[in-house]
C-alpha cells in the first residue's frame, strides 16, 4: 500500500514536470521580500508603486517572474523583524527593508547573512557600522543634507528677490515655524538643520517661533499649525516642513482658519508628491524638493537584478563605497513645475 502510494506520488510529480515543460514552471522566478515601516506613508507608497511597475517591465524584458511580497510593519520593529524572518523562511532571494527603527539594522543584517540573502535597506538609513557588518548589506536613499540645502535655497531665493513679500513685519528677520518628521530619522534631522543653515550662512537673520515633530503626517501637522496660528497669527512668515504631507497639513490649517491664499505664510515641503505638485500649481505651496521615488525604486531593482544573477552590482548601479546608491534631490518651484507633473 505504502509503495503504491509512493508510486502514485512519483507519477503525479512526473505528470507535473511534463505539464511544466511549458513556459510556466521553467520561467525563472526571483522572490523579493519588501518590508515597509508603514505602508500608508505617502512617499513610501509611491516608492512601492514604482518598484512594482519597474519589476513588471523587467519581467517582460528578461522573460522572468519577479515575485514581490510586501509587508507592512505598522510602525513596530518587532512586527517587522517577524516579517523578515518569514521572508527568509519562505526562501526569498533578496530582502528590501524600510526599517521602522534605524538603529535596529544589525539584527536583520545578521539574519540575512546567516541565510546568505542580500539585504537592501532604503529610505531609513542604518548607521554605517551596521552596514559594514556584511558585504551584501546595501542602502538606497537620498542625502538629507541636500534636501535641506535646496529647501532653504527656495526660501533664500524668494527673500533675496523681494524680502518684503516674506518679511511681513519688516524687521529684516525671518520668523518661521518648523514641522519635523520623526525624531531620529536622518531626513528629519538633516533637513531641519541644513534648511536653516542655508539661510543663516547667506546672511539672513532667522527666528524660530516654534517647532515640533509631527512624524511626517498631514493630520498632525494640521493640528499643530492651528495651534501656532492661534498663538502667533500673522507673525509666522515661513513654514518649513520636512515633507510635503506636513506642508499640506499646514496649508489645511491656514485654510481652515479662513486665510485667503495670498495671506498664507511662505510654505515649503520636500518630496514632490503628486498632491503637493497640484498645491504648488494652485499657489498655496511655494516650493518643494523632489525626493526621487522612481530613482530609488530603480536603484533597488538594479541591485536586485545584479545580486540575483551573481553579478557585481557596481556594474548595474552607481555604487558609493560598495554599499550606497544615492539619488539626488531636485528643487521644484512654479518655474520648473511642468517638468515634474505627469502628462
Q: Which one of the spans 18-26, 36-44, 165-173, 320-328 is the region binding ligand BGC (CB under 6 A)?
A: 36-44
Provide, rounded to whole angstroms, the least separation between the CB of residue 9 and ligand BGC: 48
User: Is the distance from CB of 190 to CB of 144 less than 8 angstroms?
Assistant: yes
> CA angle 283-43-327, nearest 5°?
95
112-141 positions binding ligand BGC, by CB under 6 A: 123-124
Rg (CA), the chain: 24
Q: Which one of the spans 41-49, 77-85, 156-164, 314-322 is the region binding ligand BGC (CB under 6 A)?
A: 41-49
Among 225, 270, 280, 317, binds ligand BGC (CB under 6 A): 270
* Strand positions, DSSP E, 6-64: 29-36
Reduce the DSSP state of residue 12 to 3 states and report it: helix
How far is 65 from 189, CA to CA, in rounded Å?
Answer: 39
Per partner kind, with CB cut-offs from 5 to 8 A, the member of ligand BGC, Ca ion, none near residue 124 is ligand BGC
How far is 251 from 126, CA to CA, in rounded Å?
Answer: 32
Site string for ligand BGC, 66-105 (x = CB under 6 A): ----------------------------------------
For cell 507592512, what's the residue? 72
Among 187, 237, 252, 292, binds ligand BGC (CB under 6 A): 187
In this structure, what are the phi and psi dihedrals at residue 39, rounded to the nearest 5 degrees?
-65, -30
User: Is the distance from CB of 109 to CB of 133 less than 8 angstroms?
Assistant: yes
Provide, rounded to whole angstroms, the least separation between the CB of residue 287 and Ca ion: 19
Give Cα 262 to chain centroid, integer Å. Answer: 31
CA atoms within 13 A on the CB side of 281: 13
Is residue 195 near ligand BGC by the rule CB under 6 A? no
Per partner kind, with CB cut-offs from 5 to 8 A, the member of ligand BGC, Ca ion, none near residue 44 is ligand BGC
Provide, rounded to whole angstroms, the least separation between the CB of residue 227 and ligand BGC: 22
Query: Between residues 190 and 204, which has the closer beta carbon with respect to ligand BGC?
Result: 190
For cell 509666522, what's the residue? 236
Give Cα 185 to chain centroid, integer Å. Answer: 11
For residue 61, CA distances in Å to 66, 165, 282 come to: 12, 52, 40
How far is 278 from 222, CA to CA, in rounded Å?
Answer: 18
If residue 266 lies in a helix (H) or strand (E), which one and from where to where? strand 266-268
For cell 505664510, what's the residue? 265
Query: Between residues 229 and 327, which has the closer beta carbon with respect to ligand BGC?
Result: 327
Is residue 243 near ligand BGC by the rule CB under 6 A? yes
Q: Which one of the spans 5-13, 38-46, 156-164, 307-315 is the region binding ligand BGC (CB under 6 A)?
A: 38-46
Site string for Ca ion, 139-178 (x = CB under 5 A): ----------------------------x-x-x-x-x---
Provide, rounded to whole angstroms, the least separation between the CB of residue 186 and ligand BGC: 9
Number of residues that bind ligand BGC (CB under 6 A): 12
Phi-psi region of 203 (alpha: psi -120 to 50; beta: other; left: phi over 0): left
Is residue 180 near ligand BGC by the rule CB under 6 A? no
170-229 positions binding Ca ion, by CB under 5 A: 171, 173, 175
Reduce the DSSP state of residue 87 to 3 states and report it: helix
Query: Between residues 125 and 237, which has the closer beta carbon with respect to ligand BGC?
Result: 125
How far is 124 from 157, CA to CA, in rounded Å?
Answer: 30
Query: Between residues 72 and 271, which has the closer beta carbon with respect to ligand BGC?
Result: 271
Where on the chain is the footprint of ligand BGC (CB under 6 A)?
41, 43-44, 123-124, 185, 187, 216, 243, 270-271, 291
Binding site for Ca ion (CB under 5 A): 167, 169, 171, 173, 175
Amino acid at each position: 500500500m505504502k509503495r503504491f502510494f509512493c508510486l502514485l506520488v512519483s507519477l503525479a510529480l512526473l505528470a507535473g514536470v511534463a505539464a511544466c515543460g511549458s513556459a510556466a514552471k521553467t520561467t525563472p522566478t526571483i522572490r523579493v521580500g519588501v518590508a515597509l515601516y508603514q505602508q500608508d506613508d505617502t512617499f513610501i507608497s509611491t516608492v512601492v508603486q514604482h518598484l512594482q511597475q519597474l519589476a513588471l517591465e523587467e519581467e517582460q524584458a528578461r522573460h522572468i517572474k519577479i515575485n514581490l511580497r510586501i509587508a507592512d510593519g505598522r510602525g513596530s520593529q518587532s512586527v517587522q523583524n517577524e516579517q523578515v524572518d518569514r521572508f527568509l523562511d519562505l526562501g526569498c532571494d533578496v530582502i528590501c527593508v524600510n526599517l521602522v527603527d534605524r538603529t535596529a539594522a544589525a539584527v536583520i543584517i545578521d539574519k540575512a547573512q546567516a541565510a546568505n540573502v542580500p539585504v537592501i535597506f532604503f529610505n531609513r538609513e542604518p548607521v554605517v557600522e551596521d552596514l559594514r557588518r556584511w558585504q551584501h548589506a546595501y542602502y538606497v536613499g537620498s542625502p538629507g543634507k541636500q534636501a535641506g540645502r535646496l529647501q532653504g535655497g527656495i526660501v533664500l531665493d524668494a527673500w533675496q528677490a523681494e524680502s518684503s513679500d516674506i518679511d511681513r513685519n519688516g524687521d529684516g528677520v525671518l520668523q518661521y515655524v518648523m514641522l519635523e518628521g520623526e525624531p531620529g530619522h536622518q531626513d528629519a534631522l538633516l533637513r531641519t538643520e541644513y534648511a536653516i543653515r542655508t539661510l543663516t550662512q547667506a546672511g539672513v537673520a532667522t527666528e524660530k517661533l516654534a517647532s515640533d515633530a509631527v512624524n511626517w503626517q498631514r493630520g498632525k501637522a494640521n493640528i499643530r499649525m492651528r495651534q501656532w496660528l492661534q498663538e502667533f497669527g500673522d507673525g509666522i512668515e515661513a513654514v518649513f516642513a520636512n515633507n510635503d504631507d506636513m506642508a499640506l497639513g499646514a496649508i489645511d490649517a491656514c485654510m481652515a482658519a479662513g486665510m485667503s491664499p495670498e495671506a498664507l505664510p511662505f510654505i515649503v515641503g520636500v518630496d514632490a508628491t503628486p498632491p503637493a505638485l497640484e498645491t504648488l500649481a494652485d499657489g498655496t505651496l511655494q516650493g518643494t524638493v523632489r525626493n526621487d521615488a522612481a530613482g530609488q525604486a530603480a536603484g533597488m531593482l538594479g541591485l536586485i537584478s545584479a545580486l540575483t544573477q551573481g553579478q557585481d552590482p557596481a556594474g548595474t548601479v552607481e555604487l558609493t563605497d560598495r554599499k550606497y546608491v544615492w539619488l539626488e534631490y531636485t528643487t521644484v518651484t512654479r518655474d520648473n513645475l511642468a517638468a515634474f507633473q505627469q502628462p
